[in-house]
A and B are shown apart, each in its own frame.
Chain A
Amino acid sequence: MKWSKVEEKIFVAIMICSTVVVLSSLALILGTVIWRGLPALNLAMLIQTPKGGYYLGKEGGILNAILGSLFLAGGATALALAISLPIALYLHFYAERSWHGEVVRLALDVLWGIPSIVYGAFAFTLMLWLGLRASLLGGIIALSLLELPIMTRGMDEAINMVHPLLKEASYSLGATRLETALKIVVRQSIPGLLTAVLLAFGRGIGDAASVLFTAGFTDHLPTSLFEPAASLPLAIFFQLSTPFPAVQDRAYASALVLTGIVLTLSLISRRLAGRLTEHVIR
């Protein structure tokens, strides 16, 4: 056979092997978490807070962390949404095809790449200046910074998909840019916007390094914005750090819960996007 054909075959084989390696790493991660987490998972764990000696293997559960994480990520997502949507709209309606729009996009892409521990350190600094201690609010601030670029760029892209003629049609009917933005474009791009929100939420709920400084950790349920709040990722980390196998098993179960939440979110967003696009004009 010709050498070029042989070479082609070799490299296609390498490509397929690489794809298998990458996909099997996904399977391996999910498999490991399910295999070790599922046997340790039980209902009691999900509906109880840690009782005395929980980290020594005694009674209790991770409800504090589950609720804490939902509050943290939920609050952060709401905050990020309030900032993201106006920016995404601004980029499309007031900074169209201008260089400063591109600079902002670049800034957002760069923000996306900043490590979460840096966001944690920055939010921690802010909190010192504001006189806040480690608290739910602090964690929300840190996570919202982390979510902000993800959400904004996602929305930016979603709005980009709206057919330009729609915008022009709205203008030609005498609508202002604001009216066009809110009544036409936002409505048309809802699936994409929602996907961006869920993506950001998923990133927020899974992040540990930024809440480490800022939200603290507690065995109690979060009651106020100014009290510390537990989070699932940190609960996993702390439980895994104990020397007791029984507690480590709970870490695996918690990891399964967290993975489940994140994957469910991503599935929902995919589904929603598919379903909602039915009414979208392309």
Chain B
Amino acid sequence: MAPSTPTEFIEKWLAIPKRLSRQTLDRLAKKWMGFQTVAVGMLVPLIALALLLRAQPILTVRPLGELLFGTTWHPIKQAFGFYPFIMGTLWVTITSMIIAVPPSLMVAIYLAEYAPQRVRALIKPLIDLLAGIPSVVYGVWGVLTVVPLIRNYVAPTIDRWLSFVPLFQSDNPTGYSVLAGGVVLAVMVFPIIIAVAEEVIHAVPRDLREASLAMGATRWQTMKYVTLRKAVAGVIAAIGLGFSRAFGETMAVMMVVGNVPKVPSSILDSAYPLTALIANNYGEMMSVPLYDAALLGAALFLMVVVLIFNIASRLTLVRLVQHS
């Protein structure tokens, strides 16, 4: 009999699953969810494979060494040397880590070991907030605050007092520089390093800290000689995660580093990171032979580096968690 009222219709419709036994339904669900899970588990190799296929054309005609260490970038003339861009990325990333790591670790130690519960409950959400700010907003902040600061104050000061150090010599007057990118990226990776490092420091067994304190060690001595020694792998993992985040960041960096395709020799020079190269040229890449292959190859390179750092860090953290 066909359902005549909406209620009957709904009842009929609801009854359909009931015809399947509950156990069958459970098994079906398991299959379906399992399929999705495996599919997502395969996503990492899938992405790598897809990018590899797209980069294939250039990888077959150009030796890898030439791509990685070639210094000329001129797609129209079919010259695809990534060296300046790789160096740009490295300069900016390393600068950001030098700026970010010490304060991040200090904050992590403070939160894990010193801060009273109330202070921790206040500070942690604020730091999480920092993680939620979109990267383009970081870029805007960089353009409005960091770049002018470097142009008007930092660069002249360095020029006056430290210009004998090669690392600080530059004729770039704009403020759009490795240093600007480093500062912006540093602030972006604060929350990552702090969160992970705090967690691993916190995970060090109480007994161990108590044993040290009970011998008359101060809290800092305990941290320095015992807790950090125990947590060192996890802290390195935290830094690794921060590094890979900084390495792959695009928008904020390209807004403040100047994008001049030259290997930087000073933190006040401009740089042109790989991510910015991809983002700036996606529009025209389909119109020049091998150009798209080169850019997707660059994306693949980024991914591989980030993967290495990420997997190493994550494995370390997983092992630490299992031990504690």
Are A117 and B137 closer than 8 Å at their CB atoms? no
Neighbouring A residues of B303 by C-beta, 8 Å: 114-115, 118
User: What is the CB-to-nearest-CB distance from B290 to chain A, in angstroms, rounded to a whole number?
Assistant: 16
B278 interfacial by beta-carbon distance below 8 Å: yes
B32 interfacial by beta-carbon distance below 8 Å: yes
Are A19 and B123 closer than 8 Å at their CB atoms? yes
Query: Chain B binding site: helix, strand, loop or mixed by DSSP?
Result: helix
Neighbouring A residues of B109 by C-beta, 8 Å: 15
In the complex, per-residue mask of A34-65: 1 if CB is within 8 Å of any chain B CB, else 0? 00100000000000000000000000000000
Neighbouring A residues of B34 by C-beta, 8 Å: 90, 94-95
Query: Closest chain A residue to B301 by CB distance?
Result: A118
Q: A86-B33, A209-B250 are in contact. Are A32 and B135 (CB under 8 A)?
A: no
Alpha-carbon separation in the docked complex, A125 to B51 (Å): 8
The segment from A102-110, A162-170, A218-226 that touches chain B is A102-110
User: What is the CB-to-nearest-CB distance from B127 to chain A, in angstroms, rounded to a whole number?
Assistant: 7
Are B110 and A208 closer than 8 Å at their CB atoms? no
Are A237 and B135 closer than 8 Å at their CB atoms? no
Are A106 and B318 closer than 8 Å at their CB atoms? yes
Are A87 and B102 closer than 8 Å at their CB atoms? no
Alpha-carbon separation in the docked complex, A7 to B221 (Å): 9
Return the contact of B140 from the options A19, A23, A90, A240 (Cβ within 8 A).
Answer: A240
Neighbouring B residues of A209 by C-beta, 8 Å: 135, 250-251, 275, 279
Q: A32-B145, A255-B137 are in contact. Are A110 and B44 (CB under 8 A)?
A: yes
Return the contact of B40 from the options A87, A114, A259 (Cβ within 8 A).
Answer: A87
Neighbouring A residues of B141 by C-beta, 8 Å: 28-29, 32-33
Chosen A-B contacts, 12 in total, with CB atoms closer than 8 Å, are: A19-B111, A22-B104, A110-B310, A111-B43, A113-B248, A113-B309, A118-B306, A177-B30, A178-B30, A207-B135, A212-B282, A266-B132
Q: Which residues from chain A sit less than 8 Å from chain B, CB to CB?
A: 4-5, 7-8, 11-12, 14-19, 21-23, 25-26, 28-29, 32-33, 36, 83, 86-87, 89-91, 94-95, 100, 102-104, 106-111, 113-119, 121-122, 124-126, 145, 148, 152, 176-179, 181, 199, 202-203, 205-209, 212-213, 233-234, 236-237, 240, 251-252, 255, 258-259, 262-263, 266, 270
